[in-house]
Chain A
Amino acid sequence: MLASLAASFPARPLPRIGVGVLIAVALGLLIALPLGLDNYYMRLATTVLMYCVLAWSWNFIGGFVGYPSFGIAAFFGFGAYAGAILLSAKIIPFWLSPILAAAGCFAVAVVIGMPILRLRGHYFAVASLGLGEVFRELAMSWTALTGGGMGINLPPMRPAFGTEAQTFYYAMLILALVTLGTTIVVARSRLGVAFRCIRQNEEAANMIGIDATRSKIIAFAFSAALPGAAGAIYASWVGYIDPSDVFDILNSVKAPVMVLLGGTGTIFGPAIGALIYLVFEEFVTHHLLQFHAGMLGIIIVALVLFMPHGLLETLRRRKQGQA
């Protein structure tokens, strides 16, 4: 009866008012948060929001459509460079940089998606992984535009109000809300139905009139545009980017791990996964500096062994088992 939750977002009859109050409180907390946080926690909170964006973004192609993508780093880096180049040329204001980066990544993903989304499963995964490496090489060698291995320094941002840290926090918060909003709208739309059908059986989806290729390209473009915007904000935030930082392949692995941690195809799973992952990471990097990549490995193994459906689904099943 309840078993389709993770996959299908059934419109569950939740008490409307309760949900409204919950959302208002959560939003209020998120908006008020910077007032109570020191620099360290501001950085952590902004990072959590950024990874929420990356995890939710991955969820479009990887969760809804079920095509395992490792292309997050490619578009995060692309967006970071797009933002950095435009901002250091001083031709656009800060707020425009994530929007343009997103538009650029969307267009690039559509063009790249046409050939690589014809590939199924594992082949697509490998192709998407290669994408980040290609972009990184490009950034390394196109020195005139990107500064090559030297990277790019961004001009300092003068916030209209509040501190710089607060500006970036709110920028990430807005982007995270946009990403969440897109997730919810898509999940409930015809497009969301098409995504679910494709994930379960692509051939049968075609047979009932779903243009699977087009749907997959749209999902891939969402999975590219939103990380692109995050990359642009990130570039301004850290003030200096270089290829190995923004095309870090770990981001392509972390995003799906976070989604798996929280629950594939659920609406809040990716964010919960991101939060848990980063809190763990923060804890571990403080105490065992060398253990970073090792932790990722351990989480992956633990996930596969103990929670193949993610945290939300595991908890739900446990609860259902007791009931």
Chain B
Amino acid sequence: MMTAILELRGVSRHFGGLRAVNDVTLSVPQGRIMGLIGPNGAGKTTLVNLITGMIKLSAGEMWFKGARIDGLAPHRISRLGIARTFQIVQPFPEMTALENVAAAAMFAGNIASQSEARDFAESQLERVGLLELRSTLASRLSLGQRKRLEFAKSLAMKPSILLLDEVNAGLHGGELAEAITLIRSLAQDGLTILIIEHLMKVVVSLCDDLAVLHHGELIANGPAQQVMGDEHVIKAYLGERYLKRQRAG
């Protein structure tokens, strides 16, 4: 059995009568790329919000590196080494790209000196190919650039696990290919990645493991090849999408 870096045990979150996430038990193995897939409204973003402490659990426990993290404030969780990107990117619009990333390095990345934080931020901007735009205000960046900024911000937090919520949505050919290369290189550096992704070709090319959410419930979980052959999964999710895409492609 592989060591799990993140473990969810019976995690639920209800919104009124809606069970957005329902009794999910899931282990995210260390140092691998896990895909989290499922149709719109399945509860994927809610699950990321739960892990990062942005919203509270209705029931269940969460463990990260052997310590319990449910109930911790978001800033504490992020300092432990859990970083996320937002489905709708959330830069600090009135700050430059560099200032955005340096802020992440300073706080979650725990770099006390501001000039060191800037140096570290520059290296992260370079990693995502945004160094040239370091003095540009975040609000002036294009969508693709903002997504890369979001990436650099997360990396500056020196995370052990990166939660990517549809980072690739809205990216075009070249940008998409670059993003995939970047994610793969991060995993090679030992970062654990949980990626929410709609494009099956990205999922197939990146993920070692897959977890499938449907109406808030985890209906399948395991090595990617095995999950994609699972009947329930094909019926609930892959079926229409996967086949449609394969036919179209």
The complex places the Cα of A211 from the Cα of B79 at a distance, in Å, of: 10
Q: Which of B54, B137, B153 contacts A3 (CB 8 A)?
A: B137
- Are B95 and A4 touching (Cβ within 8 A)? yes
CB proximity to B under 8 Å, residues A114-132: none
A8 within 8 A of B: yes
B135 within 8 A of A: yes
Contact mask for chain A residues 260-294; partner B; CB cutoff 8 A; 1 contact, 0 none? 00000000000000000000000000000000000
Q: A3-B137, A4-B137 are in contact. Are A208 and B103 (CB under 8 A)?
A: yes
Chain A nearest CB from B113 CB (Å) reads: 9
B144 within 8 A of A: no
Q: Which residues of B contact A207 (CB under 8 A)?
A: 52, 54, 74-75, 78, 83-84, 86, 90
Residue with the greatest number of chain A CB neighbours at <10 A, chosen from B52, B90, B103: B103
Considering the complex, give the chain A residue whose CB is closest to the CB of B96.
Answer: A4
B177 within 8 A of A: no
A209 within 8 A of B: yes
A197 within 8 A of B: yes
A143 within 8 A of B: no
Considering the complex, give the chain A residue whose CB is closest to the CB of B112.
Answer: A190
Q: Which residues of B contact A7 (CB under 8 A)?
A: 94-95
Considering the complex, give the chain B residue whose CB is closest to the CB of A214.
Answer: B75
A210 within 8 A of B: yes
- Are B94 and A209 touching (Cβ within 8 A)? no
Q: Which residues of A contact B209 (CB under 8 A)?
A: none
- Are A204 and B86 touching (Cβ within 8 A)? yes
The complex places the Cα of A260 from the Cα of B195 at a distance, in Å, of: 44
Q: Which residues of B contact A245 (CB under 8 A)?
A: none
B225 within 8 A of A: no
A110 within 8 A of B: no
Q: Which residues of B contact A3 (CB under 8 A)?
A: 94, 137
B93 within 8 A of A: yes
CB proximity to B under 8 Å, residues A187-216: 190, 193-194, 196-197, 200-201, 203-213
Q: Which residues of A contact B153 (CB under 8 A)?
A: 208
- Are B104 and A208 touching (Cβ within 8 A)? yes
- Are A212 and B54 touching (Cβ within 8 A)? no
Q: Which residues of B contact A197 (CB under 8 A)?
A: 92, 95, 103
The complex places the Cα of A212 from the Cα of B75 at a distance, in Å, of: 8
A1 within 8 A of B: yes
- Are A193 and B106 touching (Cβ within 8 A)? yes
Chain A nearest CB from B133 CB (Å) reads: 12
Q: Which of B83, B92, B137 contacts A196 (CB 8 A)?
A: B92
- Are B137 and A190 touching (Cβ within 8 A)? no
Q: A207-B52, A208-B107, A209-B79 are in contact. Are A196 and B94 (CB under 8 A)?
A: yes
Chain A nearest CB from B157 CB (Å) reads: 6
CB proximity to B under 8 Å, residues A2-19: 3-4, 7-8
The complex places the Cα of A197 from the Cα of B83 at a distance, in Å, of: 17
Residue with the greatest number of chain A CB neighbours at <10 A, chosen from B92, B96, B104, B114: B92
- Are B92 and A200 touching (Cβ within 8 A)? yes
Chain B nearest CB from A190 CB (Å) reads: 6
Q: A209-B104, A209-B108 are in contact. Are A203 and B90 (CB under 8 A)?
A: yes
Chain A nearest CB from B39 CB (Å) reads: 26
- Are A200 and B93 touching (Cβ within 8 A)? yes
B99 within 8 A of A: yes
CB proximity to B under 8 Å, residues A167-192: 190
The complex places the Cα of A136 from the Cα of B74 at a distance, in Å, of: 38
Q: A3-B137, A190-B114 are in contact. Are A206 and B94 (CB under 8 A)?
A: no
The complex places the Cα of A207 from the Cα of B88 at a distance, in Å, of: 14
The complex places the Cα of A211 from the Cα of B73 at a distance, in Å, of: 8
CB proximity to A under 8 Å, residues B10-38: none
The complex places the Cα of A206 from the Cα of B84 at a distance, in Å, of: 11
Q: Which residues of A contact B93 (CB under 8 A)?
A: 200-201
Chain A nearest CB from B125 CB (Å) reads: 15
- Are B90 and A209 touching (Cβ within 8 A)? no
- Are A209 and B92 touching (Cβ within 8 A)? no
- Are A206 and B103 touching (Cβ within 8 A)? no
Chain A nearest CB from B56 CB (Å) reads: 14
The complex places the Cα of A209 from the Cα of B117 at a distance, in Å, of: 14
- Are B79 and A196 touching (Cβ within 8 A)? no
Contact mask for chain B residues 98-121; partner A; CB cutoff 8 A; 1 contact, 0 none? 010011101111101010000000
The complex places the Cα of A212 from the Cα of B157 at a distance, in Å, of: 17
CB proximity to A under 8 Å, residues B143-202: 153, 157
Q: Which residues of B contact A205 (CB under 8 A)?
A: 92
The complex places the Cα of A1 from the Cα of B52 at a distance, in Å, of: 34
Q: Which of A196, A201, A212 contacts B90 (CB 8 A)?
A: A201
Q: Which residues of B contact A204 (CB under 8 A)?
A: 86, 90-92
Additional pairs, 4, CB under 8 Å, beyond known A190-B106, A209-B104? A4-B94, A200-B92, A203-B74, A206-B74
Of all A-B residue pairs in the complex, the 10 with the closest CB atoms, nearest first, are: A209-B108, A209-B107, A7-B94, A206-B74, A208-B104, A204-B90, A200-B92, A209-B78, A209-B79, A211-B75
A-B contact pairs, 10 of them (CB 8 A): A3-B137, A194-B107, A197-B103, A201-B91, A203-B74, A204-B91, A207-B83, A208-B157, A209-B109, A210-B107
